[in-house]
Amino acid sequence: MTTPAAVIVDEAAYAQAVEDAVNASAAYYASGTSALDDETYDRLVRGIAAWEAAHPDQVLPDSPTGKVAGGAVEGDVPHTVAMLSLDNVFSPEEFTAWTASLARRIGHQVERFSVEPKLDGLAIAARYTRGRLTKLITRGDGTAGEDVSHSIGTIEGLPRELTEPVTVEVRGEVLMTTAQFEQANEVRTAHGGQPFANPRNAAAGTLRAKERAYTVPMTFFGYGLLALPDTDTTLAKQLGERAHSDLMAQAAALGVNTTATTAVPGITSETVEEVLARVKEIAAVRAELPFGIDGIVIKADLAADQQAAGAGTRAPRWAIAYKLPAVEKITRLLDVEWNVGRTGIIAPRAVLEPVEIDGSTITYATLHNPADITRRDLRLGDHVMVRRAGDVIPRIEAPVAHLRTGDEQPIIFPEICPRCGASIDTSEQRWRCANGRNCHLVASLSYAAGRDQLDIEGLGATRVIQLVETGLVTDLADLFTLTRDQLLALERMGETSTDNLLAAISAAKAQPLSRVLCALGVRGTGRSMSRRIARHFATMDAIRAADAETMQQVEGIGTEKAPSIVAELAELAPLIDKLAAAGVNMTEPGATPPVPASDAAESGSQTDDAQGGPLTGMTVVVTGTMTGPLEALSRNQMNELIERAGGRSSSSVSKKTSLVVAGEGAGSKRTKAETLGIRLATPDEFAALVANHLN
């Protein structure tokens, strides 16, 4: 679980690391934003510490290892007792070692531990005078902090008045729950502000902001209760002698919020094993908590143990933070994809520069809906804070606005359904294809009718939508049983267009198997793969009889693709049967089915390329505009022709190319062929060569 420390190789790198850490820390404490995410900052500081351990004479005075995290800001209020930070452990072994060293220090085993979540917010000291909340101070540099008393009244769990008129200081963490964070960003962007990158930044920014036209609530959890100089001496003595768990109960009784109100209340444990079990429990529910935690804090519970352990300048020796893996990282938003779900919901998905979070590489994150993108003011190229907790789908918290360079581009929203081309219903937050649940069917039918598949002229998207909406077509096969009367009954369907469409549908029945297969839209089998499969197996029956191993005999189909193609074809079996029953051709002209493996040894097997055509064994590239007998052929049809004639088509010229068919306007591919000394043919020459295969 421990992330490695940054590796610092020389003094210059050390100085740079110190500077980066100081800048990040200063930015964080001044504005609640940082160019470094937590884990990167931790790694850097540990790298700095490692270098300093090996080069104690070179330690720089402003190194972040030497002081309490954070920097004092001018005008700070002194703390009566320093607000310390915590040392970290990252594994059960490190934790056990810490307990052993603590036992050595105090001369006996720690009697009892208190175990509570490490809340991911900002430390704050709340001073109560005779029961009234009078001052709120941030941690600052630990010895003095900023007066943020203007926030009194906006923090849930920190009442203006305690249940008893006591003078005490409550210490704890101010944070925003997920709901508060979302509300904060909504309000902030509505007022023209930049959204906060994450709940902690939001809490930091909100706490420090003095004059705001609006208030956004935050939440407080207490983790300390201590006397102030004015505290009644009896109470002061009591507070100094009480166990941490008792102080927490006392704080709760005074009306202050503590972790006792959460799903992960502070508990006490007698043994290391019990503590570690609790650490596991808390880690397991982390993702479901309505607030962020970045670890578990374990404290010696008894005041006597704490006093015996004492404190260093940075952290007490009686407490430790058991850090959980970071769940947030900063990365860049590269693109936004729009995916259409089964019900027609059009959902944006962020494509990220890959980033590792807690052991997995994250490349995509959910973006919910277009309004969400607008609300967060996301732009392409933005640095974004990505959060992945547990098994939850990673999400973008917000752009890190201060890292903007000005080169960021707006995210373009689709104007038509990216799958079927219909209009989009934008009346709800979640956009939906106007075809709703039919979107997928419309898209797959339009694809099947396309020029490179069944080539059914007159069956454009509008007509397909009409056929689907009227219920006349529920799958591809239904097209082939449409009647003249059914079509004539449709709006905007005259006799001529009906007859033309029926003729085109009828002609489509005779398309070669490769195109029928392509029309089925099996994932991973586009035009050229469909041709290869069809030429290899020659009949649909042979394709359907193939298992994953046999499927791999087709060039370009490997161990990964083969099973998914086989499985998808099995799923499509009813549709294929229906198509065959409707008279759709299921054979590939010119191809012969492969000899089954058992017979191959006797009769000698053949491969799908070796058809004895004029292009056998040749790789052919077509470039420029085709003329003469080839004029009407699309690129796809040219490729089909090449393959029918025994060759292989390719789109780029290389040393492996055998022939380049260069039509009018051929450019760089022709030049490259000349340079490499590759045989060139005009469209007419090529047409003559493959004359027997032109149909």
Catalytic residues, by residue number, are 118
Among 118, 329, 375, 531, binds ligand IVH (CB under 6 A): 118
- The whole-angstrom separation of Cα 379 and Cα 399 is 8
Here's the x/- map for ligand IVH, 162-181, by CB under 6 A: it reads as -----------x--------
Element at 118 (helix H, strand E): strand 113-119
Nearer of residues 49 and 490 to ligand IVH, judged by Cβ: 49
Q: How far is the CB of 562 from ligand IVH (least distance, A)?
A: 52
Q: How far is the CB of 221 from ligand IVH (least distance, A)?
A: 7
Question: Does position 673 bind ligand IVH by CB under 6 A?
Answer: no
DSSP letters of 271-332?
A: SHHHHHHHHHHHHHHGGGSSS-EEEEEEEE-SHHHHHHH-B-SSSBSSEEEEEPPP-EEEEE
**Edge-to-edge strand order for the sheet containing 679-681?**
648-650, 619-623, 659-662, 679-681
Interacting span for ligand IVH (CB under 6 A) from 115-123, 403-411, 452-460, 589-597: 115-123
Q: How far is the CB of 84 from ligand IVH (least distance, A)?
A: 4
Nearer of residues 243 and 321 to ligand IVH, judged by Cβ: 321
Interacting span for ligand IVH (CB under 6 A) from 276-284, 316-324, 423-431, 610-618: 316-324
- Number of neighbours of residue 611 by Cβ within 10 angstroms: 19
| Nearest-CB residue for ligand IVH | 123
Q: Which of residues 6-35 bind ligand IVH (CB under 6 A)?
A: none
Nearer of residues 84 and 516 to ligand IVH, judged by Cβ: 84
- Do the beta carbons of residue 143 and residue 201 sit within 8 Å? no
Nearer of residues 116 and 452 to ligand IVH, judged by Cβ: 116
Q: How far is the CB of 225 from ligand IVH (least distance, A)?
A: 12
Here's the x/- map for ligand IVH, 328-357, by CB under 6 A: it reads as ------------------------------
Q: How far is the CB of 223 from ligand IVH (least distance, A)?
A: 4
Q: Which of residues 516-575 bind ligand IVH (CB under 6 A)?
A: none
- The whole-angstrom separation of Cα 23 and Cα 457 is 65
Q: How far is the CB of 297 from ligand IVH (least distance, A)?
A: 4
- The whole-angstrom separation of Cα 90 and Cα 180 is 30
Nearer of residues 251 and 630 to ligand IVH, judged by Cβ: 251
Q: How far is the CB of 178 from ligand IVH (least distance, A)?
A: 17
Which residues 6+ apart lie within 8 Å of 351 measured at CB?
A: 333, 334, 335, 336, 337, 363, 364
Interacting span for ligand IVH (CB under 6 A) from 15-23, 79-87, 610-618, 638-646: 79-87
Interacting span for ligand IVH (CB under 6 A) from 78-86, 196-204, 570-578, 676-684: 78-86
- Do the beta carbons of residue 497 and residue 462 sit within 8 Å? no
Q: How far is the CB of 551 from ligand IVH (least distance, A)?
A: 56
134: alpha, beta or left? (left if phi > 0; alpha if psi -120 to 50): alpha
**Tokens of residue 525, six digits:** 């089998």
Nearer of residues 115 and 620 to ligand IVH, judged by Cβ: 115
3-state class of 444 per DSSP?
helix
Among 17, 44, 77, 123, binds ligand IVH (CB under 6 A): 123
Q: How far is the CB of 146 from ligand IVH (least distance, A)?
A: 15
Nearer of residues 306 and 682 to ligand IVH, judged by Cβ: 306
- Do the beta carbons of residue 511 and residue 448 sit within 8 Å? no
Among 144, 202, 319, 551, binds ligand IVH (CB under 6 A): 319
Question: Does position 316 bind ligand IVH by CB under 6 A?
Answer: yes
- The whole-angstrom separation of Cα 526 and Cα 447 is 11
Q: How far is the CB of 222 from ligand IVH (least distance, A)?
A: 9
DSSP 242: S
- The whole-angstrom separation of Cα 104 and Cα 76 is 38
Phi and psi torsions of 390, nearest 5°: 60, -140
- Give the closest residue to 30 by CA, choosing from 72, 61, 81: 72
Measured in whole angstroms, how far is the alpha carbon of residue 143 from the centre of its chain? 40
- Give the closest residue to 255 by CA, choosing from 175, 176, 160, 177: 160
Question: Does position 86 bind ligand IVH by CB under 6 A?
Answer: yes
- The whole-angstrom separation of Cα 10 and Cα 664 is 62
Nearer of residues 254 and 618 to ligand IVH, judged by Cβ: 254
Size of the site for ligand IVH (CB under 6 A): 13
Question: Does position 196 bind ligand IVH by CB under 6 A?
Answer: no
Question: Does position 321 bind ligand IVH by CB under 6 A?
Answer: yes
Exposed, middle or buried: residue 89 (CB in 10 Å: 0-12, 13-18, 19+)?
buried
Interacting span for ligand IVH (CB under 6 A) from 114-122, 181-189, 545-553, 640-648: 114-122
- Do the beta carbons of residue 676 and residue 652 sit within 8 Å? no
Nearer of residues 307 and 486 to ligand IVH, judged by Cβ: 307
Nearer of residues 118 and 388 to ligand IVH, judged by Cβ: 118
Contacts 24+ apart (CB under 8 A), 268-275: 268/112, 268/113, 268/114, 268/115, 268/301, 269/112, 269/113, 269/114, 269/115, 270/111, 270/112, 270/113, 272/95, 272/96, 272/99, 274/113, 275/95, 275/113, 275/115
Q: Which of residues 256-315 bind ligand IVH (CB under 6 A)?
A: 297
Q: How far is the CB of 136 from ligand IVH (least distance, A)?
A: 14
Interacting span for ligand IVH (CB under 6 A) from 83-91, 327-335, 542-550, 613-621: 83-91
DSSP letters of 548-585?
A: HHHHTTSTT--TTHHHHHHHHHHHTHHHHHHHHHTT--
Nearer of residues 85 and 198 to ligand IVH, judged by Cβ: 85
- Give the closest residue to 156 by CA, choosing from 220, 200, 93: 220
Residues lying near ligand IVH in the complex (CB under 6 A) are found at 84-86, 116, 118-119, 123, 173, 223, 297, 316, 319, 321
